[in-house]
Structure 1
Amino acid sequence: MSDSRDLLILGGGLVGMTLALAAARQGLSSHIIDRADPAELTAEGFDDRATAISTASWHLFTNIGIAEGLEQFACDIASIAVTDQNLPGRLDFTPEAHEGTLGRMFPNRRLRLAMFEAAAAEPLINWVSKAEVIERQRSEFGAAAIISREGGEPEKLMGRLMVGAEGRGSPTRDAAGITIAKWDYKHRAIIAGLTHSKPHGNVAWEIFYPAGPFALLPMNDDADGTHRSSLVWTVSEDDGKAVTKLGDRAFLAEVQKRMGDVLGEVTSVGARSSWPLGFHHTAKITGERLALIGDAAHGIHPIAGQGLNLGLRDAAALVEVLTDGARIGLDPGDAQLLTRYENWRGLDSFMVALATDGLTRLFGVPGKTASAARRLGMSAVQRTDLLKTFFMDEARGVSGDLPELLKA
């Protein structure tokens, strides 16, 4: 069996699925192949993680038609508070009323559901789940993937451009022999949902400790009015397993000690998960009839909550490049188009990656002197409107050369 489409997207996560939906809006067809079972990915309790969606990414969701169904699950981020170990010298980022929010928080499950439902209803998307890619083929004439599904014969799916979107361990990237720079932070992110006595006021807290950032991200209250937030706590790799295994009472005590009274008393904690943290960035993001997007191309520290948003910028840029090419009759795998995508996204993603790496190292320097110097710098930023506006624009994703899909 064979079937040919414009795009052959390997990886059906949030970035790969967004690419397929955005491409379909521009008349580009795709195969999207993923090994996971969507029923498992959207099951209650599978993934308690939540994701910050920037203003620009929300524009993208609006432009591809999924924002309306997601709106009821959004929790606005009205302000970001940054402190060094809850010591004096707090930095606040609060946009003017006419500028809107700094972003929105969503449960990952809700993002997946919205995208999966939209993809299932889109005739230009052939979504193949629970499938293993057993062979990848690329040549000047096109791209193909040989896939295997449980109990079936191997199938061949063809496209004019192969897109690697499988995440940090992308086998498509590795099979293409693309060089990658990477290092391990020797940190783990502990993720859990919290309930607490005080309302969060739509404030996202970033409390920096030498071991790593401690982030409290606002979520919608429960139906009964219980206040909720999402915790992303970075700990050393050595401490990660021990922290994950703490009983609820001990874990809550550790959380309370680090967050102080900003959310009042922590009353309960949801299921905990942990993820190793590392940095990687590819030497290039394209090859012969190949483009990489999202974590397949770059993996950054979650210190600024920009990982998924960076991947969504990739998807929007790639769709714009391919759409512009289609208008003048160019094939999606045309080398000129891929060069434009490389030049557009390569530098931007690298600069964001360097910035997050620098912040991680800056706030990781221990000692009272280093802390005092950081707080002095934060106080200077707090008094400088121009700098605060710059950082807020970066957080909202509205700076730089934006693809049209990321604009209102």
Structure 2
Amino acid sequence: MDNPRARGISRHMEFDTDIAIVGGGLNGPVLALALASAGLKVTLIDRLNVKLRRNAAFDGRSYALALSSTRMLAGLGLWQGIADKAQPMLEIKVTDGRAGEGPSPFFMHFDHAEIEEGPMGYMVEDRHLRRHLLDAVASDDRITQLNGETVTGQAVDATGASLTLAGKGTLRARLVVGADGRGTGTGRRAGIRRVEWSYGQTALVCAIEHEAPHHGVAHQLFMPPGPLAILPLTGNRSSIVWSESDTAARRIDALPDSAYLDVLRPRVGDFMGAIKLAGARYSYPLGLSLAMQMTAPRIALVGDAAHGVHPIAGQGLNAGLRDVAALAEVIADARRRGEDIGSEAALARFQEWRRFDNATLALATDSFNRLFSNDNPLVRMARDIGMATVNALPGLRRGFIREAAGLTGDLPRLMQGKSL
């Protein structure tokens, strides 16, 4: 005898995919590839058209990938295709500075030779990393891509989650992962609240070509308006991430290239010789955005959807990739044990693993920015003495180097170079 209730349960238990990932930037594709490597069926939903993502022109954008992040990419078979386009970061020099005055004599100097593992990290251009990820996703038959698609609604129940799509009806999954940035619709629809505030600063981002070689050295100069990072790219090129007050940044950003360079030159100094712009210029407002929870029933957040921090330490993408590695490990292990991969117990393990680290990173970057983005003479003297002290103590200095390389804390297997 036909049982309507049984028919309803049967339909209720059917899934289009194991995991739906909302967001096709960088964290989303890496998570999709990690989960697919563990044998899971994944659907990657991206609101942007894939042709826009594949734009191969150099536009100045680049990322500082910690050593642990490159190990993860290598374990997934991804690093091999971009390693020859990456610039090793062999040293990091951190100091106070003022435009036109040069660096302070008090500094921190971190050299990769002080650890056994190799370079602390690599600079990788967005065009190389993004295109390689897109190619890998497209070639994996366990991943379904929905490009140019928008999620307009989501609902969860005891067994799974249903997503309403603007152009393709509904999609049912055991788990939904939000990798959709600070304005995460996934988190908002799940009722996850956020702590947010603005720093009153704007990051000015560009790339420069310069006469003198950079020798793989990354520079972090703490200027009164905000930090200035000079990060080595392949060849005689460097990436600039430069923070100014919102008002000053708007004025500088409106300048033509020649005048923009006139403002930048005294901040960079003359140690790189003549400089000129390479690629496009960007700007974006700086603030902190931290989700109160990284999970909700059948929902998990990774990357900027969970924590958007100040770029002062260049750890935003690395923290997101650590989220990805931890979530992939929790899901893969749950699947092996025969658990429901989207269960409250599985998601609780992920949140317990990552929430404290992410809150600590947010607090650290917030504190560093407040400490260094001012010109109070007493504060300046205290931080200069602090940097000189760190630099004089090999054990403490080595700890900072390992932190920069992403080798500290409870590392997921992928970030240790192991498989899931």
Provide TM-score, normalisation by structure 2: 0.92
Structure 2 counterpart of 1:114, which letter? H
Other-structure match for 1:90: 107
Other-structure match for 1:334: 343
Sequence identity, in percent? Answer: 39
Which of 280, 287, 291 lines up with 1:271 in the alignment? Answer: 280
Which of 181, 184, 198 lines up with 1:170 in the alignment? Answer: 184
The 5 Å alignment of 1:312-327 reads 312-327=321-336
Structure 1 counterpart of 2:148, which letter? K
- Using a 3 Å threshold, how does the CA distance of structure 1 residues 47 and 134 change in structure 2: closer, same or farther? farther
In structure 2, C-alpha distance between the alignment counterparts of 1:24 and 1:62, rounded to whole Å? 15
Question: Secondary structure in 2 aligned to 1:250?
Answer: helix
The 5 Å alignment of 1:2-401 reads 4-45=16-57, 47-85=59-97, 86-96=103-113, 98-149=116-167, 154-221=168-235, 227-401=236-410
The answer to whether the 8 A contact 1:40-1:46 is kept is no
How much has 1:46 moved relative to structure 2?
A: 7.4
Question: Secondary structure in 2 aligned to 1:331?
Answer: coil
Question: Secondary structure in 1 aligned to 2:48?
Answer: coil
Question: Secondary structure in 2 aligned to 1:131?
Answer: coil
In structure 1, C-alpha distance between the alignment counterparts of 2:59 and 2:110, rounded to whole Å? 29
Dislocated runs of 4+, deviation >6 Å: none
In structure 1, C-alpha distance between the alignment counterparts of 2:45 and 2:306, rounded to whole Å? 18
How much has 1:90 moved relative to structure 2?
A: 2.1
Provide TM-score, normalisation by structure 1: 0.95
| Stretch deviating more after TM superposition (265-274 or 205-214) | 265-274
- Larger Cα-atom Rg: 2
Q: How many residues align?
A: 398
User: RMSD in angstroms over aligned alpha carbons?
Assistant: 1.4
| Stretch deviating more after TM superposition (94-103 or 278-287) | 94-103
Structure 2 counterpart of 1:76, which letter? P
How much has 1:211 moved relative to structure 2?
A: 0.7
Q: Give the gaps of 5 or more residues in structure 1.
A: 222-226
- Using a 3 Å threshold, how does the CA distance of structure 1 residues 371 and 234 change in structure 2: closer, same or farther? same
Structure 2 counterpart of 1:278, which letter? G
CA offset digits 1:85-140 (Å, max 9, x no partner): 01111211102273311100011111111110000000110011001112212111
Q: Give the gaps of 5 or more residues in structure 2.
A: 1-13, 98-102
Structure 2 counterpart of 1:296, which letter? A
In structure 2, C-alpha distance between the alignment counterparts of 1:299 and 1:268, rounded to whole Å? 28
In structure 2, C-alpha distance between the alignment counterparts of 1:291 and 1:155, rounded to whole Å? 22
The answer to whether the 8 A contact 2:59-2:279 is kept is no
How much has 1:262 moved relative to structure 2?
A: 2.7
